[in-house]
Amino acid sequence: MRSVTSLIFALIVCIAGVAAAAANSRTGDGTTFAPVRIGAGGFIRGVSIAPDGTKVVKTDTYGAWTFDPRAHDCGAEAGCWRQCVTMASMPARDGGLGLNAGVYEIVVAPNRTNVFYMYFNGRVYVSGDRCATWTRTAFPAAAANPNSAENSWGRYIAVDPANADVVFAGTPSNGLYFTANGGASWSRIPTTAIPAAARADGQGGGNIIAFDPTSAVAGGATQGVYASSYGVGVFHTADGGKTWAAIPSSPTTMRHMIVDQTGVVWLVDNSEGSLHRLESGEWSQTDAGSGLNGVAVNPANAKAVYAIQNGALVVSSDGGRRWTGPTRFSRVAADIPWLQTTNENYMTAADIAFDPSQSNVLYFAEGVGVWRTNPPTRDRPVIWNSQSAGVEQLVVNEIVSPWGGRGDPVAAVWDRCVFDLSQPARYPKSAGTTNDYQRIPSGWSVDWASSDPSTIVTMCHGVDNPTDTSGYSSDGGATWTTFDSVPNEGGAAIFGGCIAASSPSNFLWVSSNHGGQFYTLDGGANWTQLQGGIGGQTSGWPWAYYVNDQMCAADRVAPHTFYVYNFGVGAGGDAIFVSRDGGVSWTQQCNRCAGGGSSFTGPISYNNLLRAEPGRAGALFFTAGRTAGPHPNASFLYRSGDGGATWSTVAGVREVWAFGFGAPQPHGSGIPAVFIVGWVGGEFGVWRSDDDCANWNRISDGYPDGSFDGINAIDGDSRVWGTVYIGFQGSGAAFGRK
């Protein structure tokens, strides 16, 4: 442990030594990155399968994936999914900072399966090499939210089964578009032909399109096409889109619409989730039931029709006239074990589709992954087998590598609490803290106990989740136990926030959504609320669960010492508060902490991060985090050596999205390595300093492993110098090694 005097000297060196940060930074130190194998976990919103078995799936958090049956580097014998949206695949102007998003639609051209079309960030792209590279088409920009409920409906892009250059694309609120030249030019179908979709929120079902494979082909284009307009009805063209006619008595809401090999139209409505059938110009509602999400017809047997109801199949073996089910179902996940053990009494359904290249194989795009089965022709139990290896879709809120104990990294994630990442190249067998929950929980924060790093705590609960599964591990994250009790917010819908641990029994809990601040001295058996807030502050605390504010920290040396940040002290002021008795009493350390009458963040706070440095009492770092741009913003990386009483900026460093600490360089000074994601000398990247911030090594351009997904979290390995873990906003995590 170093003294405060030596720390102040180091701060002087840090400030003076980076006067010209660009000159003291180095790029490319041999660090290589690979995905941390957590495995799927997010909502797969749709699946498109071509006659030869070429497959793509879309996600709501980041990107889309195509299946490579020859790949085995994801640990699965049956092949791996590959990310389609990367820095290498996207045009230069369409990949990079702030452009990370899910995909609204992606499809494979049926007759030329190297051709894909994708609706991403309001644009339609085409690929001629199975998404290795994309070209932006002339499609006029039209906003489409990949995280809307309607994104699991479709299809919003349909490619002519006879001609890969003929495409229809439906938007949420800007109408239906058509191209006959692969996207070189587009024309909008007039609203006089197909009236605009009627959705007040502007992100409705828009237009769903399906070609009739039994219709005539003229001029190289299939002539029969069906298109819906949400809130209006279904329309048909028999001349390739030149003229359209409304189909009488059609449903006016729709989730999915397909046309089978006999020309029958199948439509799942959004009013009741019921299944409708159009044959010979007449609509009829089937008795398949309600609450349905998707429909598929066996390409080898048009009488075998299936609808999906949250994992259960409703089955017809006579072309939809009689139905059995819903079937019982179970899951097997040989590729990603935790997908099988996670407790869900239903499977969140998006879409189902047959693989025509295989006999009786049905695929299921679902809330935690991609599944397949050999469906029965009557009411028999269905076994869904995971085929999700390669997909990484979880949102990581925080990663920590404890300084002691096992030292293995642990990640807090949306939708599944926490994961032990002790074997980053192997999929976990389970997720913490427990499978005993009624709704999907999320891990908002995770920390290790300063006096006993084998103890790890996490704040874990879902949005409006009636069961809080926050808890602790006593063995470094290998096993978990839920707390005996959780803070009582008086029945308010409070979720998200920050948790910190000083010892195996002394934790601090700072709620988001304008909740309270609590401490426990008995390991979570009892929690005491700071009445009136810490320091009497009732505002200036984390205000929204979806904002990744980590505003509390435990000192890594001084016992029972906690720090919190508050951005609402006075008019535009802020403060650091400290407790040296385990959270019972608090003292304000600074006001307008940035100095010169300025606060760290200004009046609004979004992504604050406060952390204590291992091995140094009173050593703190703080960043106000990322913003929407322009980049870099005016925020700095701040540090304190006296428990938050005084602060200085780390010279040359701006807009730090995340930071953490790692093992010191061998044969060096013993000072922990500092990892940041942000700007040094005006250049964005992932950086490491081995000399107390005097110099910086750029270990990545900010897009590790080729992804331009945003970064939420970073921490170095506490045992191995140069090893680092990065958590993404929508595609899991990556690890880097020298």
SS3 sequence of 87-150? CCCCCHHHCCCCCCCECCEEEECCCCCCCEEEEECCEEEEECCCCCCCEECCCCCCCCCCCCHH
Which single residue is written with the structure tokens 């909740």?
A: 515
Residues forming a β-bridge with 173: none
Q: How far, in Å, CA of 540 to CA of 562, rounded? A: 18
CA distance 32 to 315: 49
Distances (CA, A) of 323 to 99, 158, 186, 304, 563: 45, 29, 42, 10, 62
Please give the Cα distance from 571 to 445 (Å, whole number). 29
DSSP state letters, 357-409: TSSS-EEEEESS-EEEE---SSS--EEEEE--TT-B-PPEEEEE--SSTT---
Structure tokens at 355: 């693989």
DSSP string across 475-531: STTSS-EE-S-----TT-----EEEEESSSS-EEEEESTT--EEEESSTTSS-EE-T
Strands (DSSP E) found in 145-230: 157-159, 167-170, 176-179, 187-188, 209-211, 217-218, 221-222, 225-229
Kindly state the tokens that stand for 265.
Answer: 């139209």
| Calpha distance 671→673 (Å, rounded) | 6
In order of 111, 133, 232, the CA distances from 127 in angstroms are 14, 6, 33
Task: Indicate the SS3 state at residue 15.
Answer: helix
Please choose, from the candidates 462, 458, 513, 508, the residue with its C-alpha nearest in 3D space to the C-alpha of residue 490.
513
Residue 298 in tokens: 């066996």
User: Is residue 213 a contact partner of residue 153, using CB atoms and an 8 Å limit?
Assistant: no
Structure tokens at 85: 């949206």
For residue 702, count other CB atoms closer than 10 A to its CB: 21
| β-pair partners for 726 | 714, 734
At residue 332, the 3 state secondary structure works out as strand
Question: Strand 167-170 relative to strand 157-159: parallel, antiparallel, unpaired?
Answer: antiparallel
Q: Which two tokens stand for residue 364?
A: 């299921």
Which residues fall within 8 angstroms of residue 214, CB to CB, at 6 or more apart?
224, 259, 261, 262, 263
Q: Which residues contact 77 (CB under 8 A, 6 or more apart)?
A: none
DSSP symbols for 585-618? S-EEEEESTTBTTB-SS-S--SS-EEEEPTTSTT
Cα dist from 609 to 59, 494, 510, 568, 636, whole Å: 28, 20, 13, 16, 12
| Structure tokens belonging to residue 282 | 């007449």
Superfamily of domain 63-386: YVTN repeat-like/Quinoprotein amine dehydrogenase (2.130.10.10)
Tokens of 137: 């088409």
Closest-CA residue to 653 (of 627, 628, 685): 685
Give which of 135, 93, 99 is closest to 118, Cα–Cα.
Answer: 135
Query: What CA–CA distances, in Å, run from 475 to 406, 480, 524, 548, 692?
Result: 8, 8, 17, 26, 31
Other C-beta atoms within 10 Å of 669: how many? 12
Where are the chain's structural domains?
A: 23-34+394-737, 63-386
All residues at 6 or more sequence positions from 314 whose CB lies less than 8 Å from its CB, including other chains: 275, 288, 289, 292, 306, 307, 308, 323, 324, 325, 326, 327
Handedness of CA 430, 436, 441, 445 (dihedral sign): negative
Name the token pair of 65. Answer: 């994936």
For the chain, which ranges sit under pLDDT 70?
1-28, 199-204, 344, 436-439, 464-466, 602-605
How many CA atoms, within 13 angstroms, populate the side-chain half-sphere of residue 279? 12
Q: Give me the count of residues in the chain.
A: 738
55-68 burial: b if 16+ Cβ within 10 Å, else e: bbbbbbbbbbbbbb
- Which residues, other chains included, contact 551 with Cβ-Cβ below 8 Å and sequence gap of 6+? 498, 510, 541, 542, 564, 565, 566, 608, 609, 610
Tell me, what's the pLDDT at 439?
Answer: 65
587 residue type, one letter: T
Task: Report the alpha-carbon distance of residue 339 to residue 350 in Å, rounded.
Answer: 17
Q: d(Cα 378, Cα 180) in Å, to the nearest integer? A: 42
Q: State in Å, rounded, how far the first CA of the chain is from the last one.
A: 27
Q: Could you give phi then psi for residue 328, rounded to 5 degrees?
A: -75, 155
Examine domains 23-34+394-737 and 63-386 and report if their fold is the same.
yes
Q: What is the pLDDT of residue 602?
A: 55
Position 21 scores a pLDDT of 34
Q: What residue type is 591 in one-letter code?
A: N
The whole model's pTM is what? 0.93
CATH of 23-34+394-737 given 3.30.450.270, 3.60.70.12, 2.130.10.10, 2.40.50.140: 2.130.10.10
Residues β-bridged to residue 135: 126
pLDDT number for residue 344: 65
Torsion of CA 36, 40, 42, 43, to 10 degrees: 150
Contacts of 158 (CB under 8 A, 6+ apart): 107, 167, 168, 209, 210, 211, 225
